[in-house]
């Protein structure tokens, strides 16, 4: 296996790194403090083709694959983890799912805006009493003949109140469990009956909007059904196998941000007449961070390679997501220790790293769920799609 980047991939890496340093880095602390989502950054991502990975050029895709997308997302997420959600929320969520299951009319109508950054995307499956058990959702879409009438509540939806185009998973056949769920495309700017409430009291991810969505007799056109009726659960699982790559890449990148920060601080901080990086205990902690960071990054690349080569990738995606999550949480904790008392102040980013890393243990499948996916596939109890 060749671990080197091609010339084109190096160009993608440099472009994404330069973009993050120029367009995102100057505003990180200000946006964190104000819990502010800077929508214009999404538009700039679209202008640079940073939202079009693995999608046809005829709909605005950039002609490149998963590997290049992960390389770019890694560079962006190192600077500010909140912004990794834009690629999953636009590209690897709605756009990719509409491209796979949508009609030609749906593809032409919705995908270009998601990829050029003029539209904010989202996907809604989680409910107040439905997290890992997706099949137990209660939001109901009633067939009214010439339209769907939707009632229910979704929560913890990334980008929910800023979204223009979103996927909604809802029950269309009561009592049928996973076989009675369908997927809908929601035009949030033109759908009456939807109330969107920002969730501002969060531990971390302060610049990434999170929302509660309340559907009260929301009217959705019949043509906005995505894919076959009652096949939404399978569409949802297919989609998650893609959007989880955003989680895996973002977690690995956050691990690297903690490592880079810890190395720099260990070289600058003088105690007992020499940099603390000269002390073996600090070196041991940094070595731990390197070990887990390198493993997480290469597991992301492995999953991306499998996807680009149309090979089964579900287990590899869950492995990458779980490894990245563990690496990020451990690295954030060790960075806090290495920075000492300064790590506990807002003068340095340790607090943000520690707050942001914890979301990876829950988002798009808890760590427990990913352990089950990995083990069940290995044991032969579930297929590796």
Calculate mean pLDDT across residues 291-296.
97
**pLDDT tens for each residue of 76-105:** 999 999 999 888 889 999 999 999 999 999
- Structure confidence at residue 39 (pLDDT): 93
User: Using CB atoms within 10 A of its CB, is residue 219 exposed (0-12), middle (13-18) or buried (19+)?
Assistant: middle
CATH superfamily of 234-379: Butyryl-CoA Dehydrogenase, subunit A, domain 3 (1.20.140.10)
Calculate mean pLDDT across residues 294-301.
97
Tell me if the pTM is above 0.85. Answer: yes
Residue 1: pLDDT over 90 = no
CATH-assigned architecture of domain 7-119: Orthogonal Bundle (1.10)
- Structure confidence at residue 335 (pLDDT): 98
Calculate mean pLDDT across residues 343-361.
94
- Structure confidence at residue 154 (pLDDT): 97
- DSSP H or E segment with residue 167: strand 165-171
Return the C-alpha torsion angle 199, 201, 206, 209, nearest 10: 0
Domain ranges of the chain: 7-119, 122-230, 234-379
Q: Given pLDDT bands bounded at 50, 70 and 90, which one contains residue 132?
A: confident
Tell me how far apart the alpha carbons of residues 323 and 326 are, in angstroms, rounded to a whole number: 5
Of the candidates 255, 233, 237, 239, the one whose C-alpha atom is nearest the C-alpha of residue 322 is 255
Dihedral sign computed on CA atoms, order 76, 82, 84, 89: negative
- Structure confidence at residue 4 (pLDDT): 85
Give me the helix-helix angle, 280-308 and 232-268, nearest 10°: 150
- Structure confidence at residue 312 (pLDDT): 97
Contacts 24+ apart (CB under 8 A), 68-72: 68/8, 68/9, 68/12, 69/245, 69/304, 70/245, 70/249, 70/300, 70/301, 70/304, 71/5, 71/9, 71/12, 71/13, 71/16, 72/12, 72/13, 72/15, 72/16
Contact call for residues 364 and 244 (beta carbons, < 8 A) = yes
268: which residues sit within 8 A by CB, 6+ positions away?
A: 275
Calculate mean pLDDT across residues 161-189.
97
- Structure confidence at residue 162 (pLDDT): 95
Tell me how far apart the alpha carbons of residues 298 and 314 are, in angstroms, rounded to a whole number: 16
Name the average pLDDT for the chain.
96
Calculate mean pLDDT across residues 354-374.
94
Residue with tokens 């790590």: 343
Residue 3: pLDDT over 80 = no
- Structure confidence at residue 356 (pLDDT): 96
Question: CATH topology for 122-230?
Answer: Butyryl-CoA Dehydrogenase, subunit A; domain 2 (2.40.110)
Contact call for residues 141 and 148 (beta carbons, < 8 A) = yes
Of the candidates 254, 248, 239, 255, the one whose C-alpha atom is nearest the C-alpha of residue 363 is 248
Of 128-132, 280-284, 319-323, the least confident? 128-132
**pLDDT tens for each residue of 232-288:** 999 999 999 999 999 999 999 999 999 999 999 999 999 999 999 999 999 999 999
Calculate mean pLDDT across residues 174-186.
97
Give the residue numbers annotated as catalytic, written as ranges.
364
- The alpha-carbon radius of gyration of the chain (Å, integer) is 21
């Amino acid at each position: 296996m060749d671990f080197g980047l091609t010339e084109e991939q190096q160009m993608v890496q440099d472009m994404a790194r330069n973009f993050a340093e120029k367009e995102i880095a100057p505003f990180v602390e200000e946006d964190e403090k104000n819990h502010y989502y800077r929508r214009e950054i999404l538009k700039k991502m679209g202008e640079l083709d940073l939202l079009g990975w693995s999608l046809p050029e005829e709909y605005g895709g950039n002609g490149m694959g998963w590997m290049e997308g992960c390389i770019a997302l890694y560079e962006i997420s190192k600077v500010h983890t909140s912004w990794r959600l834009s690629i999953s929320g636009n590209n690897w969520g709605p756009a990719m799912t509409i491209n796979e299951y949508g009609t030609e009319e749906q593809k032409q109508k919705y995908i270009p805006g998601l990829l050029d950054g003029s539209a904010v995307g989202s996907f809604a499956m989680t409910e107040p009493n439905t997290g890992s058990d997706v099949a137990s959702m209660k939001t109901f879409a009633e067939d009214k003949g010439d339209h769907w009438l939707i009632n229910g509540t979704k929560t913890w939806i990334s980008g929910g109140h800023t979204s223009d185009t979103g996927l909604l998973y809802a029950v269309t056949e009561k009592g049928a469990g996973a076989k009675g769920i369908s997927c809908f495309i929601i035009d949030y700017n033109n759908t009456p009956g939807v109330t969107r409430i920002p969730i501002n009291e969060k531990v971390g991810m302060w610049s990434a909007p999170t929302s509660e969505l309340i559907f009260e007799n929301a009217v959705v056109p019949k043509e906005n059904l995505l894919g076959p009726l009652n096949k939404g659960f399978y569409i949802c699982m297919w989609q998650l196998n893609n959007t989880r790559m955003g989680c895996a890449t973002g977690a690995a990148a956050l691990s690297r941000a903690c490592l880079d920060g810890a190395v720099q601080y260990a070289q600058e901080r003088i105690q007992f007449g020499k940099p603390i990086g000269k002390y073996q205990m600090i070196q041991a902690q940094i070595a731990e961070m390197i070990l887990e960071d390198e493993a997480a990054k290469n597991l992301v690349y492995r999953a991306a390679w499998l996807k680009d080569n149309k090979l089964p990738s579900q287990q590899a995606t869950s492995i990458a997501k779980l490894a990245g999550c563990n690496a990020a949480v451990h690295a954030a904790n060790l960075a806090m220790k290495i920075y000492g008392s300064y790590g506990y102040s807002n003068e340095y980013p340790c607090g943000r790293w520690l707050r942001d890393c914890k979301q990876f243990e829950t988002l798009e499948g808890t760590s427990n769920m990913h352990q089950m996916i990995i083990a069940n596939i290995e044991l032969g109890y579930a297929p590796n799609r």
